[in-house]
Amino acid sequence: MMDRRIKIVADSNIPFLEGVFEPYAEVAYIDGSNITREDITDADALVIRTRTRCGEALLGGSRISMIATATIGTDHIDLQYCASHGIEVHNSQGCNAGGVMQYVFSALYGTASRKSIKLDHPVMGIVGVGNVGRKVEHLAEYLGFKVLRCDPPRAEKEGPEGFCSLEYLLMHSTIVTLHTPLDGTTRDMADERFFSLMRPGTFFINAARGEIVVEDALMEAIPKLGPVIIDTWRHEPDINIDLMDRVDIATPHIAGYSFQGKLNGTASAVQAVARHFGISQLYGFYPEYDKEEYAPVRLDLKGRNQGEITSVFQYNYPIFTDDFMLRMAPERFEQLRSGYKYRREVYVD
**325 to 104, 210, 298, 339: CA distances (angstroms):** 18, 19, 28, 12
Do residues 105 and 213 touch, judged by C-beta distance below 8 A?
A: no
Residue 253 falls in the annotated catalytic set: yes
* Candidates 49, 90, 154, 253; catalytic one: 253
Between CA 46 and CA 27 the distance in angstroms is 10
* Candidates 236, 275, 332, 334; catalytic one: 236
Q: Map the chain to HEC letters.
A: CCCCCEEEEEECCCCCCCCCCCCCEEEEEECHHHCCHHHHCCCCEEEECCCCCECHHHHCCCCCCEEEECCCCCCCECHHHHHHCCCEEEECCCCCHHHHHHHHHHHHHHHHHHCCCCCCCCEEEEECCCHHHHHHHHHHHHCCCEEEEECHHHHHHHCCCCCCCHHHHHHHCCEEEECCCCCCCCCCCECHHHHHHCCCCCEEEECCCHHHECHHHHHHHCCCCCCEEECCCCCCCCCCHHHHHHCCEECCCCCCCEHHHHHHHHHHHHHHHHHHHCCHHHCCCCCCCCHHHHCCEECCCCCCCHHHHHHHHHHHCCHHHHHHHHHHCHHHHHHHHHCCCCECCEECC
Between CA 213 and CA 193 the distance in angstroms is 12
- At position 73, the amino acid (one-letter code) is G
Through-space distance between the first and last CA atoms of the chain, rounded to whole angstroms: 42
* Candidates 209, 276, 337, 343; catalytic one: 209
Residue 220 falls in the annotated catalytic set: no
Sign of CA dihedral 66, 72, 77, 79: positive
Residues involved in catalysis: 209, 236, 253
